[in-house]
Structure 1
Amino acid sequence: MEGNYIDKTRVLDIKPLRTLRPIFPSGNQAPPFVCAPPFGPFPAGFSPFYPFGSSQVNEQTPDLSQAQHQPQLPPQGQHQPQNLSERSLATPSRPLRSSNGDIEPVESTLKRKTPKKRQLSTVNFESGISVAERDNGNRELVTSVLMRFDALRRRLAQLEDAEDAVNGIIKRPDLKAGSTCMSRGVRTNTKKRPGLVPGVEIGDIFFFRFEMCLVGLHSPSMAGIDYLVIKGGDAEEEEPIATSIVSSAYTENDRVNPDVLVYTGQGGHADKDKEASDQKLERGNLALEKSLHRNNAVRVIRGLNLKEATHRVKIYVYDGIYEIKEAWIEKGKSGHDTFKYKLVRAPNQPPGFATWTEIQSWKTGKSPRRGLILPDLTSGVESVAVSLVNEVDSENGPSYFTYSTTVKYSMSFQLTQPSSGCGCGNKCKPGNLECPCIRKNGGEFPYTGNDILVSRRPMVYECSPSCPCLTCKSKVTQMGVKLRLEVFKTVDRGWGLRSWDPIRAGAFICVYAGEARDKSKVQQTMANDDFTFDTTRVYTPFKWNYEAGLADEDASEEVSEEPQLPLPLIISAKNIGNVARFMNHSCSPNVFWQPVSYENNGQLYLHVAFFAISHIPPKTELTYDYGVSRPTGAQNGNPVYGKKRCFCGTQYCRGSFG
């Protein structure tokens, strides 16, 4: 490159290293270096390395010799969550409770609950995924695989929190969970292909790279370019073509035109032992160059660094199909040659990365929020503002109500129970069975270190506000709303709720605030109340917790995921409520409710808390199952029908609710 002139032909003239013939030693020489896939099979004398050695089951690497025809792009439309009730995810966590619900006594000499060492299961684990489904997935299967991975990851994180951590050691439950799922066959779309991946939708988000590996979106756990070797040309020589790239760089051009990406090739970076060097036209770089000539589609995943309440997280956004338009060489910051590739997003695709850039512009004030009615409908009651937006019609907002963050109990509804708090000092420690906050949850924290719910339980017991813990991890629902939520007008279901922020599976969203009612006294008025949460309704069961077999734990220690409350709880948000009153019903929801209780000043406070079923991208409507009322005198097993017509439009719509 001289001056401002860039020679864009240099990439095309370089001979690929693939043309070199390998030279093998003769019989009396030492054997060549053995390179085995991370999950085996392994030659004699070789063994798997961390984190790929957590299972006895090895899986063959997929056949990469054939590329599939590029599928057609889907019509532009809204993402629809799928039914999550088909997959059984059992929880082995068992609370220390007797048959009548009381806490079982524990001997005073027992100071700590020592976590059990995970032993490899002696019984063959059945993934429930057939060979055909492992090669080619669908939306329901992709959702199930991601749920099973994250359920296991949360459990491993819980176990690691319970162990005495050694300073300086970085724990990676995502790697352990990913390698376990990979080796046990909890995966899909193992057959590599360019273009779209069955069951993975544009706009899907991932919090861990292993998630993309398990669903076949991007196979390398570290490399930014994934490629496939195919037959090409008249000589039938093999050559690589790119299937997907992960771009973690964010420039001003990405905000101005999010449909154009300038991607830097791989290699040439300095490390502890080597100096920076020119990038070479090999492996992923060669695959991108070949894809330019073949004009084949490349999947693009955008990596973003986001700041949460206490730490930064990496999010990966699947942005759809791109085409490589140009390739050239330019000098990098180190003064060495780097490959540059210009990719342009294919038209008529659902929004992906553009949604993120739009929201970022709203947050920074660089562009106004179209259709904004109120910047904060809570008037400062919530620590994070909740916008009110209407982009559909001229309605100025919902009917008037008083905003509250808690449940208001009447005098006749008070629940009294002595509250002793705990004497743990600075913080409650997992396994300390003398701590009443830990005992009630079976000796384990219900949340991971980053406030993620580990498992659904009949009841989650949080620490009392009177607990002296300064850094307590068991007061998640008492801390209020942390997400940037937005109440918006839907096309056919009134007002709805969504988030500007990505939501991780198991993350707390909000509680259902309002007035606690006695069902026997409000039975007649409930029919006209569209803002009532009734715990006595019949809810479609589903499994969300980790599988004992996948976690190498005893399935006999499972506890029910069905909510259990000491008495029926009816909450009306018609006159007093919070953002939860705007969440619409769906027969295939992305949010579930979990009963939570804590004690304060001699009272037991019951709450209905909402958590994310799976990862939820920004601007995706938040929905939960309203359930249906059981007719008077109905017996178990009789069909139950709702009173209101359902407009959720999902594949598994029941047709009614309420």
Structure 2
Amino acid sequence: MGSSHIPLDPSLNPSPSVIPKLEPVTESTQNLAFQLPNTNPQALISSPVSDFNEATDFSSDYNTVAESARSAFAQRLQRHDDVAVLDSLTGAIVPVEENPEPEPNPYSTSDPSPSVATQRPKPQPRSSELVRITDVGPESERQFREHVRKTRMIYDSLRMFLMMEEAKRNGVGGRRARADGKAGKAGSMMRDCMLWMNRDKRIVGSIPGVQVGDIFFFRVDLCVMGLHGHSQAGIDFLTGSLSSNGEPIATSVIVSGGYEDDDDQGDVIMYTGQGGQDRLGRQAEHQRLEGGNLAMERSMYYGIEVRVIRGLKYENEVSSRVYVYDGLFRIVDSWFDVGKSGFGVFKYRLERIEGQAEMGSSVLKFARTLKTNPLSVRPRGYINFDISNGKENVPVYLFNDIDSDQEPLYYEYLAQTSFPPGLFVQQSGNASGCDCVNGCGSGCLCEAKNSGEIAYDYNGTLIRQKPLIHECGSACQCPPSCRNRVTQKGLRNRLEVFRSLETGWGVRSLDVLHAGAFICEYAGVALTREQANILTMNGDTLVYPARFSSARWEDWGDLSQVLADFERPSYPDIPPVDFAMDVSKMRNVACYISHSTDPNVIVQFVLHDHNSLMFPRVMLFAAENIPPMTELSLDYGVVDDWNAKLAICN
């Protein structure tokens, strides 16, 4: 997807409305920067505000400036007949075009955009046009979401590619590249190729295709998605020099505890303005009513909502933090106050707009508590705290607060697929393996088995989907820490089987699953075609791994839109997967994952304990960043000549 504009399909009914937010032209208040009594910067650092009366004077001056601006705007508004209140929810003041031009649809098959970047165009500047996209129907939202999915897939693939290129240069055991540095480089490369989303418009309100609760691992991720335009600053705003009336307008904020005076209460946030900090993040001087601070005050005056993204400490295999989109907030009040360090700071009261999905940050904290003390936050509904009976590395919860069904308890739990005994056990006498004592690297035999590229990075993340992955086996000399030993280590994330009104039994994770993360094996009793034919004659329902579809993710790792010399790797043909699984008596947690044609889980065939290409293990990986408590789904495929209906455990 080379397009960076907002995809709209004018043929849909109702069509999304793109409404320009051009504030009424008036005198600029860009120069109304708040001036503190002490204008010597050095004196400000050494002389913090310590007297409350002085702080009161600051507040009085600020209120005078703000009230003057409001009065001036109120007088000007009386002379603009084309100004109307657009949204009863926010009260945003905007002129509305009678017949806005329809936007081109980037999903059109006639889009002539090239699939390979042959040169580096000049980075696309951010637009000065403020718009809100409304009336997005289900089909348009699906298209927006698909555009987001593809953009994130390119970005994640590029970030991991850069990490692995650095690792190759440093060699096995060498210094690892900084993840945030490679994330920034990946973002810059995508910007140069004009692959950042929403660069041609400044969207006020919700970003189509980005949902409340979506998780990101780096600030630059937010820039790529168009959710927040600055990789450093906490307030994203349209500057006064670009605004139609010279007024800055805030569109999004990041709440990450970077200022000591922040007070985050969930639905209500006391947000501290920006500026005045030294290099160590300490408040060292007074803040000024300019830039993002003035933009927040102006957005409050106009009733323009802001997007809130929370940054939280969360140890994971990608980064030490996560950024969660928590929806839209109103700025309902602003004032000047004395901060904890004694310097003047601007404060803004943000209140969450009702009617939105639950905040992702709340879900994240809830899931974290479930892993350590589940009964403290959910005292009812648990049937079993480990249906695997210790067979998995971590317990698998069973939860049902809907009815009395306890069906998962009636099956024997299998941690791995059971193949016919003695047929596929890898024999040390005739098996070939690598001799990489420190771990597999360049030139390794196992790398050659995988078409010259090991499928995982050093965190065990799937870099690129392949027809078949050969992991290191018992004949290999590499240690357990080898990066080519991933799925054989078993379950690492906490999963929960739960009862759902929509899907019967389902599965969700209590951990954040990043794109490419290994989830678990799909386990049952493997049957040959002959055995399957006998059982189906008796009416038994079987699962067929060959039917599982991951077609939507075949472009995983395709960097042709970013790297001009990128060549899509080719892989040798493998025999068709020719076995079925009986899960009628023995199964694992994966058998409760629901079917979807829009899945968030992909299937990858893997060999590590035998050499039969026709009987690989069925491994499941996260196809995208999956927040905690989100139901997992995979595409079980379509019917074939084996059976007249699709077999799903549910």
TM over 0.5: yes
Partner of 2:185: 176
Q: Judge conservation of contact 1:156–1:173 (CA < 8 Å) in 2.
A: yes
Partner of 1:242: 250
> Aligned equivalents of 1:571 and 1:563: distance in 2?
23
- Give the secondary-structure state (helix, strand or coil) at the position aligned to 1:411: coil
Deviates more, 1:270-279 or 1:512-521: 270-279
Q: What is the percentage of aligned positions where both structures have the same residue?
A: 33
> Aligned equivalents of 2:281 and 2:381: distance in 1?
55
Shift in CA distance, 529/243, structure 1 to aligned 2, threshold 3 Å: farther
Shift in CA distance, 252/532, structure 1 to aligned 2, threshold 3 Å: farther
Shift in CA distance, 9/187, structure 1 to aligned 2, threshold 3 Å: same
Shift in CA distance, 287/448, structure 1 to aligned 2, threshold 3 Å: same
Higher relative contact order (CA 8 A, sep 6+): 1
Partner of 2:645: 643
Is 1:574 aligned to residue 574 of structure 2?
Answer: no
Alignment size in residue pairs: 539
- Give the secondary-structure state (helix, strand or coil) at the position aligned to 1:343: strand
Partner of 1:330: 337
Partner of 1:110: none
Shift in CA distance, 580/254, structure 1 to aligned 2, threshold 3 Å: farther
Shift in CA distance, 174/287, structure 1 to aligned 2, threshold 3 Å: same
State the shift of 1:70 in Å: 7.0
Q: Judge conservation of contact 2:524–2:587 (CA < 8 Å) in 1.
A: yes
State the shift of 1:169 in Å: 6.1
Please point out which of 354, 360, 373 is paired with 1:347. Answer: 354
Please point out which of 625, 641, 646 is paired with 2:635. Answer: 625
State the shift of 1:594 in Å: 0.4
Is 1:421 aligned to residue 433 of structure 2?
Answer: yes
Shift in CA distance, 232/601, structure 1 to aligned 2, threshold 3 Å: closer
Q: How does 1:82-481 map to 2 (within 5 A)?
A: 138-164=144-170, 167=175, 170=178, 172-190=181-199, 191-229=201-239, 237-249=245-257, 257-271=265-279, 276-308=284-316, 313-352=320-359, 353-365=361-373, 366-398=376-408, 400-411=410-421, 413-414=423-424, 416=426, 418-429=430-441, 431=442, 433=443, 435-466=444-475, 467-469=477-479, 471-481=481-491
Partner of 1:67: 130
Q: Judge conservation of contact 2:191–2:224 (CA < 8 Å) in 1.
A: yes
- Give the secondary-structure state (helix, strand or coil) at the position aligned to 1:227: strand
Partner of 1:128: none
Q: Which amino acid aligns with 1:339?
A: F
Shift in CA distance, 157/578, structure 1 to aligned 2, threshold 3 Å: same
Q: Judge conservation of contact 1:531–1:572 (CA < 8 Å) in 2.
A: yes
Partner of 1:24: none
Partner of 1:42: none
Q: How does 1:41-52 map to 2 (within 5 A)?
A: none
Please point out which of 500, 503, 524 is paired with 1:493. Answer: 503
State the shift of 1:204 in Å: 1.3
Shift in CA distance, 626/601, structure 1 to aligned 2, threshold 3 Å: closer
> Aligned equivalents of 1:419 and 1:474: distance in 2?
17
> Aligned equivalents of 1:254 and 1:413: distance in 2?
63
Could you list the per-position Cα deviations for residues 464-496 of structure 1 after superposition, in whole angstroms to 9, with x for gaps in the alignment? 245342531111101111111110112132211
Could you list the per-position Cα deviations for residues 419-466 of structure 1 after superposition, in whole angstroms to 9, with x for gaps in the alignment? 24332222222x1x2x32222123332111221100001111111245
- Give the secondary-structure state (helix, strand or coil) at the position aligned to 1:407: coil
Shift in CA distance, 367/409, structure 1 to aligned 2, threshold 3 Å: same
Q: Which amino acid aligns with 2:63?
A: L
State the shift of 1:522 in Å: 1.7
Q: Which amino acid aligns with 2:161?
A: R
Shift in CA distance, 195/9, structure 1 to aligned 2, threshold 3 Å: farther
- Give the secondary-structure state (helix, strand or coil) at the position aligned to 1:289: helix
Please point out which of 471, 477, 482 is paired with 2:492. Answer: 482
Shift in CA distance, 557/322, structure 1 to aligned 2, threshold 3 Å: closer
State the shift of 1:620 in Å: 1.2
> Aligned equivalents of 1:364 and 1:304: distance in 2?
18
Q: Which amino acid aligns with 1:282?
A: E
> Aligned equivalents of 2:299 and 2:186: distance in 1?
33
Give 5+ residue unaligned stretches, structure 2.
Answer: 1-49, 70-117
Deviates more, 1:259-268 or 1:582-591: 259-268
Q: Judge conservation of contact 1:158–1:454 (CA < 8 Å) in 2.
A: no
State the shift of 1:81 in Å: 13
State the shift of 1:285 in Å: 1.2
Could you list the per-position Cα deviations for residues 479-535 of structure 1 after superposition, in whole angstroms to 9, with x for gaps in the alignment? 111111110112132211111112111111101122111122222434855562432
Is 1:57 aligned to residue 121 of structure 2?
Answer: yes
Could you list the per-position Cα deviations for residues 367-402 of structure 1 after superposition, in whole angstroms to 9, with x for gaps in the alignment? 235422222222222222211111322323435111
Is 1:544 aligned to residue 555 of structure 2?
Answer: yes
Higher helix residue share: 2
State the shift of 1:263 in Å: 1.7
Q: Which amino acid aligns with 1:425?
A: V
> Aligned equivalents of 2:577 and 2:210: distance in 1?
42
> Aligned equivalents of 2:277 and 2:533: distance in 1?
69
State the shift of 1:287 in Å: 0.9
CA root-mean-square deviation = 3.9
Partner of 1:29: none
Q: Judge conservation of contact 2:497–2:507 (CA < 8 Å) in 1.
A: yes
Shift in CA distance, 423/231, structure 1 to aligned 2, threshold 3 Å: closer
Shift in CA distance, 158/180, structure 1 to aligned 2, threshold 3 Å: same
Q: Which amino acid aligns with 1:343?
A: L
Q: Which amino acid aligns with 1:56?
A: R
> Aligned equivalents of 2:595 and 2:313: distance in 1?
32
Deviates more, 1:532-541 or 1:359-368: 532-541
State the shift of 1:284 in Å: 1.0
- Give the secondary-structure state (helix, strand or coil) at the position aligned to 1:408: coil
Shift in CA distance, 586/10, structure 1 to aligned 2, threshold 3 Å: farther
